[in-house]
Amino acid sequence: MNKYDAIVIGAGHNGLTNAAYLAKAGLKVAVLERNPHIGGATVSRELYEGWYYSNCSYVSSLLRPEITRDLELPRHGLQVVPFGGGATFMQNGDHFGNYSDYARKYREISRHSKRDANAYERYKADTSRQTRLIRPFLLKTPPDPTSLKLRDLKDLVDFAKPFINMGEEGLLDTIKFWTTSVGDYLNEYFETDVIKAQHAGSGIIGTALGVYSPGTAYVLLHHYMGDVDGNVGAWGFARGGMGAIANALSKSLQSFGGEIICDANVDRIIVKGGRAKGVALKNGDEYHADIVVSNLDPKRTLLDITDERDLPKDVVQKAKNFKIRGSSGKLNIALDGLPTFDGLDPKNPLMAGDLHFSDSLERMERAYDDWKAGTWSKDPYVDMMIPSLTDPTMAPPGKNMMSVFVQYAPPKVEGREWTDEDKDGFEKSVIDQISKYSPNFRDLILHCETRTPREIEAEVGLTEGNIFQGELTFDQLLFNRPFPGYAQYRMPIKGMYMCSSGTHPGGGVMAAPGANAAREILYDLKRPNTVPGSYADD
Amino acid sequence: MSAAERKTMLLTTPFHSRVEQYCELNDWGAWQGYTTPNSYFDVELEYFAIRSTAGVLDLSPMNKYRISGPDAQAFLNRLVTRDVSKIGVNRVGYAVWCNDAGELMDDGTIFHLAENDYRLCSYMRADEWLEWNALGFDVTINNESDDIAALAIQGPVSCTILTLIGCEGLNELKPFGIARFDFEGVEMMVSRTGFTGDLGYEVWIDPSKAEALWDQLFEKGRDYLIKPIGSHALHMARIEAGFLQAKVDFVPAEIAVRPGRTRTPLEMGLDWQVDFNKPLFNGRAALLKQKEEGLRYRFVLLDVEGNKPAEHSFILKNGKQIGIVTSAAWCPTAKSNLAFAQVEMPHGAVGDEFVAEIYYQRELQWTRLMAPCKVIDGPLFNPPRKRQTPAPAH
């Protein structure tokens, strides 16, 4: 009883994906979830009757299409519906509309600057070049650059080839891109504040860095490298909310005979003779398996549920030093109608896209200054969506559900824990911000769920509420993720693995870490691989 | 502009004043002499309206023939390969028809409006063929294509929206059923039919009420995210649903020039449409002979590896060409790479594996891709809501 071939800790999307591929290979697998519901940060809940909130992650683009197809997620109920464009509302009453149709986008940029409309073409080509470089590596294990194993050497050559093919100038551009700030990157193309601000948002979301911090250009790429049906950079909603992704993954897992056990709070990984042997729950129950996979972030995995004495000291140190800083919060709001925004026709399709109020890099950088000072931003950057304008199942007819991702919110307020008063203050700053641009917004609010890093950490278990399970800076990417020497999903304890967003290729609802880890586990078990390869990109 | 004033300019449909307002991209195409939108605002989003909310397509240009009289059923039974007597009053049936050589001419739908009263909707114009076939039958055939305005409302909330404009109890209507409602004092006919493979309806009304119908649909449907859709979005949905299209997936016999380019219904996977129990219908003898002697080709659906649509691809077996692809698309809801192909017999049994020789172009360069593919027994997109009665609310 309670004996499995593999145990996966945490029923987030990566844990479910990992378990599905192990089960598909014939392993007897159980996923243990501490909450009464599955999904982790890929979840939707009816917290106000008739309204469904995707409490944490709220849009989908990175979910690997190879996995969606291979695990037959559409048959298990998943439908991802793209949305078109978005807008940034300006302090002067105007707005910038980020139309998905190129001809209209050109006209709209021209309305602000003809020169920028032209420069956009160069921006798009340069950014696409970087996107093409990274996409083929998402469903691959990062090669170890210090290893002399044939497998690593071969992968390293594959990894280096596209870089070499770029030529000297391309390579220099790439090195610069991977290390520069999103602000500096955008300044090389655009002259108009609002156009820079519209594009800079993707460089800071989920990151405790400002638009002028080095490394944020890569974060922009992280938001551009996904796709919806091959439209690279497009984003969409999972019909029924992000929880539909976790639900479809769980059905796929179960179709292969895998089990999911909720209300199973793991206390520690059982290690005997240097080998993982299972897990013990907080209630004393034990589950035994020779393979234990953690979908918790690297800190929780190595510092909370693993006995430090079972680990090499350098790994404990690396886990302690892993950068996973809280930077964001979220408001989920039930609305009695449709909020209107100055200057934008409520019927405009942009209303169904991502909406923002930060119209300059300057304002975005000031918002970051507040975070550095240990408080939430007084003039916050928001990534605001009204999913009920795309998906009629999110709210009753004529009503709306609004998801407001907010940056910045510090993990601690002036060095101390968040209090309920702090949370109210944070909520007020966001609602005030939206109300400045939407006269009817405040009166439409029926219910609001506010989540600071404190709530996100307490419920989902993301350390400091960091949505990516660790900063996406170059020192923590590819063969550096989570730390050098441990980027191939294997932990120093034999039979123990990590499959979370804290591993390559990082956060976002991608399912790639879970799949990549499964491939490595099956390799170690000398079992046939069940994980699909990447689609040829072009 | 009236039809007379437009002379030989493309005609506009009874919905044009509204269609024009919504056609933000000004992307117009020709359909049976009418100008209709290829796309309104974004092809992808229009497609997703069909699959997630409700998409509205102006299908007024569709060829519509009224066939009535004491011999209406006998005439249709002679014309098409299926048994028309099985289509009850207030029911719709899919049908295909052949020439005497058993070559496929067209496919369409037969609406059984009342006793001895039918409407045939066809892809190709059929005035002449219907007239010839009427010889000896006591029927009246009237081309009513320009006399009826029609909209397709397709998608998960289509039933809910139509109920709001007065189609009380529509959710009880079974697939291929017909119901009638009053709309501002005129009769509005609603059929649970469509070309999307989804829950959906087609609404038929007098042209004088077309604009009012559009206005009500978009007003009452706003909260349910109703969107207009153009022909490009419909094209994506019909491939995903596995539906054939004349002139794309087969060459209508009447217009085929080169020898051997026509196909029989048996070769197009339409054997379920051919009822040899009927003593006589166009093409019966030829089809029976083919059935006994064996087919030349087989129509198959292919699940193609990778994400490159196998458009215009050759289908290979052991390096030898054994077939061609007629329609192909990445299916955004099913997340599958689907291709329709005609393969030479004896190939094409479910489970057979081939290679699709795909060519695709990026920045002028053509790439040749050899993608493994497999014959499947039906499209992967097959939602329960398309069959459910009562129809779900969303």
Any B CB within 8 A of A75 CB: yes
Q: Which residue of A has its CA nearest to B361?
A: A538
User: Model confidence over A170-193: pLDDT tens digits?
Assistant: 999 999 999 999 999 999 999 999
Residues of chain A positioned with their CB less than 8 A from the CB of B381:
74
Residues of chain A positioned with their CB less than 8 A from the CB of B360:
538
CB nearest to A68's CB, from B156, B157, B335: B335
Distance from CA of A499 to the nearest CA of B (A): 25
Any B CB within 8 A of A79 CB: yes
**Confidence band, pLDDT 50/70/90 cuts, at residue B318:** very high
pLDDT at A1: 61
Q: Do B306 and A239 make contact, defined as CB atoms within 8 angstroms?
A: no
Sequence ranges of the domains in chain A: 6-45+57-80+239-322+472-524, 84-230+324-463
Residues of chain B positioned with their CB less than 8 A from the CB of A397:
223-224
Residues of chain A positioned with their CB less than 8 A from the CB of B26:
none
Count the Cβ atoms, other than its own, within 10 Å of residue A373: 9
Q: Are B201 and B154 in contact (CB under 8 A)?
A: yes
**Residue percentage of chain B with pLDDT more than 70:** 100
> What domains lie within chain B, and their CATH numbers?
3-62+146-240 (3.30.1360.120), 64-143 (3.30.70.1400), 296-380 (2.40.30.110)
User: Model confidence over B189-234: pLDDT tens digits?
Assistant: 999 999 999 999 999 999 999 999 999 999 999 999 999 999 999 9
User: Model confidence over A139-174: pLDDT tens digits?
Assistant: 999 998 888 888 889 888 988 888 888 899 999 999
Q: Which residue of A has its CA nearest to B307?
A: A535
User: Model confidence over B53-87: pLDDT tens digits?
Assistant: 999 999 999 999 999 999 999 999 999 999 999 99
What CATH number has the domain spanning A6-45+57-80+239-322+472-524? 3.50.50.60
Determine the Cα–Cα distance for residues A382 and A294; give it in Å rounded to an integer.
32
pLDDT at A524: 97
How many inter-chain contacts (A to B, CB under 8 Å) are there?
Answer: 73
Any A CB within 8 A of B380 CB: yes
The residue-averaged pLDDT of B9-24 equals 96
Determine the Cα–Cα distance for residues B165 and B203; give it in Å rounded to an integer.
12
Q: Which residue of A has its CA nearest to B303?
A: A69
The residue-averaged pLDDT of B283-296 equals 98
Any B CB within 8 A of A203 CB: no
Any A CB within 8 A of B225 CB: yes
Any B CB within 8 A of A245 CB: no
Q: With CA atoms as reference, report the closest residue to A310 among A267, A274, A346, A280.
A: A274
Any B CB within 8 A of A81 CB: yes
Q: Do B52 and A390 make contact, defined as CB atoms within 8 angstroms?
A: yes
pLDDT at A281: 98
For residue A423, CA distances in Å to A327, A381, A407 come to 14, 17, 14
Any B CB within 8 A of A533 CB: no
CB nearest to B307's CB, from A65, A82, A349: A65
**Confidence band, pLDDT 50/70/90 cuts, at residue B35:** very high
CB nearest to B225's CB, from A84, A234, A392: A392
Q: Which residue of A has its CA nearest to B44?
A: A82
Determine the Cα–Cα distance for residues B385 and A246; give it in Å rounded to an integer.
22
The residue-averaged pLDDT of B173-198 equals 98
Q: Average per-residue pLDDT in chain A?
A: 95
Q: Which residues contact B167 (CB under 8 A, 6 or more apart)?
A: B179, B181, B188, B190
**Confidence band, pLDDT 50/70/90 cuts, at residue A325:** very high
Q: With CA atoms as reference, report the closest residue to A245 among A424, A91, A64, A423.
A: A64
Distance, C-alpha A126 to centroid of its chain: 23
Q: Which residue of B has its CA nearest to A350?
A: B41
Any A CB within 8 A of B336 CB: yes
Mutation target for A interface from B21, B27, B39, B48: give the one with most A CBs within 10 A.
Answer: B48
Mutation target for A interface from B18, B23, B26, B42: give the one with most A CBs within 10 A.
Answer: B42
Determine the Cα–Cα distance for residues A140 and A478; give it in Å rounded to an integer.
10
In A435-494, the residues whose Cβ lies within 8 Å of chain B are: none
pLDDT at A162: 87
**Confidence band, pLDDT 50/70/90 cuts, at residue A507:** very high
In A296-355, the residues whose Cβ lies within 8 Å of chain B are: 349
Q: Average per-residue pLDDT in chain B?
A: 97
User: Model confidence over A239-251: pLDDT tens digits?
Assistant: 999 999 999 999 9
Residues of chain B positioned with their CB less than 8 A from the CB of A73:
335
Q: pTM, whole model, 2 decimals?
A: 0.95
Residues of chain B positioned with their CB less than 8 A from the CB of A81:
48, 51-52
**Confidence band, pLDDT 50/70/90 cuts, at residue A538:** confident
pLDDT at A75: 95
Q: Residue A124 above 70 pLDDT?
A: yes
Q: Do A538 and B44 make contact, defined as CB atoms within 8 angstroms?
A: no
DSSP string, A425-464: HHHHHHHHHHHHH-TTHHHHEEEEEEE-HHHHHHHH--GG
Determine the Cα–Cα distance for residues A490 and A294; give it in Å rounded to an integer.
10
The helix-helix angle for A150-165 and A114-134 (nearest 10°) equals 160
pLDDT at B7: 80
- With H, G, I as helix, E, B as strand and everything else as coil, classify residue A175: helix
pLDDT at A212: 98
Q: Are B160 and B224 in contact (CB under 8 A)?
A: yes
